[in-house]
Structure 1
Amino acid sequence: MTGLFIFLGIFVVLIAWGIHIRNNIVRYFNATKRAWAEVANFERQKVKTLEALEITLNQYTQFEKSTLEQVTALRQQILSLNVDHTDIAQLQQIEKMSKELIRSLNVVVENYPELKADTLYGKMMDDIQEQNENVGAAISIFNRNVEVFNNQIEVFPNNIINTMTLSKKTIRPFRDNLVTDNFDYKPNF
């Protein structure tokens, strides 16, 4: 009889331990989804500033059309970012477009001193810079959550519990290919 109680005790502990592992996997997956939603939210906040920037740039009739088209294209790309589905490739494209737009705006401002003197334009550029910093911070948080989640589903025995109950796949972290291409050092992993 004592052997049965010991067996049942061990069985209950193993079941509780398995449930705990499963719940942690779900918890970290949800944290990763939330972090992705925050990245998308910060990107979407740029849209308001980009719309105001478009209006301001339209006031300068001699302003280069290509830069205005870049603003419009970036705004449309951000609006199409799916909050519910992690799309790293689309986020990489948005970040690339943001950097190209900032570069173009900085060049164009040199050609149009009256635009540089426009206080509304200056405020919008500051807003865009701040929003880019917020996106960068949100991406860092997202990548940390991805790392924790991926570790959760890959280590033993969590991988067994995941395979048996949830079948969650690893999530790809965000990588800025433009930046990493410029590094001489490449880790061997």
Structure 2
Amino acid sequence: MKKTSWGFIAVIVGIILVLGMIFAGKYNSFVNAEESVNQSAAQIDNQLQRRADLIPNLVNTVKGYSIHEKEVLTQIANARAKLAGAQTKTDQANADAELSGALSRLLVISENYPELKADKQFTQLMDELAGTENRIATARMDYNKQVETFNKEIKRFPGSIIASMGGFKAKDYFKAEERAKQVPQVNFGETK
């Protein structure tokens, strides 16, 4: 009888150890996936900061040519401040869309100043800004892929049980603002 009770205890301990190893392995994979999401989010922040650092130089270059275009320059400054103060990915996406819109208006204004378009510093800043915009788009795509992977892991069984026990929650995707889905209206100097 003693052999049977020790064997039974050994089986129970073995099952507990196996379940503990499964739990630890899955928990660690959630930690890794969450860190990948955080790293991808940091890359978005990094590229947004790079763009924010380029904008004052661009604005100062344009100021010399378009002193009376203060409204757009003010919109850029306000949108840049909102982006810097964004607390959530949704706030960040909205501020980013606002900044992109203001920059688009600035580019339209630059069309009215041929000497500005020929300015070497302006051209260089525009090239850097275009490269940064591409990096931002890539960083957003990478972030959303990491979020997708993480969210799938924590929603699948048995991972969902371990995720809820470990306090892991689904992450938000970086989404475009609704107005970014609208096709922009372009008119080349036509007056209404």
Query: What TM-score do you get using the length of structure 2 for normalisation?
Result: 0.83
Query: What are the equivalent positions in structure 2 for 1:12-51 lying under 5 Å apart?
Result: 12-51=17-56
User: How far 1:60 moved relative to its partner?
Assistant: 2.1
Q: CA offsets per residue over residues 130-176 of structure 1, 9 Å max, x none?
A: 11111111111111111111111111011111222x22221111121
2:169 is matched with 169
Counterpart CA distance in 1 for 2:31 and 2:77 is: 38
Q: Is the CA contact (8 Å cut-off) linking 2:33 and 2:146 kept in structure 1?
A: yes
What CA distance in whole angstroms lies between the structure 2 residues aligned with 1:100 and 1:65?
Answer: 15
Indicate if the aligned counterparts of 1:40 and 1:81 stay in contact, CA closer than 8 A: no
Question: Match of 1:135?
Answer: 136
CA distance in 2, matches of 1:114, 1:23: 58
Aligned equivalents of 2:126, 2:98: Cα separation in 1: 15
Which structure's CA Rg is the greater one?
2
Aligned residues: 177
Among all aligned residue pairs of Structure 1 and Structure 2, give the percentage whose two residues are the same amino acid.
24
Stretches of structure 2 that go unaligned for 5 or more consecutive residues are: 1-5, 184-192
- Structure-2 separation of matches of 1:170 and 1:180: 25
Q: Distance in 2 between matches of 1:180 and 1:67?
A: 22
Distance 1:17 1:132, change over 3 A: same
Deviation at 1:63, TM superposition (A): 4.4
**Aligned partner (choices 67, 76, 91) of residue 71 of structure 1:** 76
Relative distance call for 1:55 and 1:181 in structure 2 (3 A) is: closer
- Which amino acid is the alignment partner of residue 4 of structure 1? I
Give 1:103 deviation, angstroms: 2.2
Deviation >6 Å, runs of 4+: none
Displacement of 1:108 = 0.9
In the alignment, what sits opposite 1:144?
145
Give 1:187's aligned residue. Answer: none
Whether the aligned pair in 1 keeps the contact of 2:89 and 2:172 (CA below 8 Å) is yes
User: What amino acid does structure 1 have at the position aligned with 2:174?
Assistant: F
Judged with a 3 Å threshold, the aligned counterparts in structure 2 of structure 1 residues 98 and 4 are, in CA distance, closer, same or farther, namely same
Q: Distance in 1 between matches of 2:119 and 2:13?
A: 76
Work out the CA distance in 1 between the residues paired with 2:92 and 2:104: 18
CA distance in 2, matches of 1:180, 1:52: 29
Q: CA RMSD in A?
A: 1.9
Q: Confirm whether residue 57 of structure 1 aligns to residue 58 of structure 2.
A: no
Tell me how far 1:30 sits from its aligned partner: 1.5
CA distance in 2 between partners of 1:11 and 1:180 (Å): 52
Q: Secondary structure at the match of 1:111?
A: coil
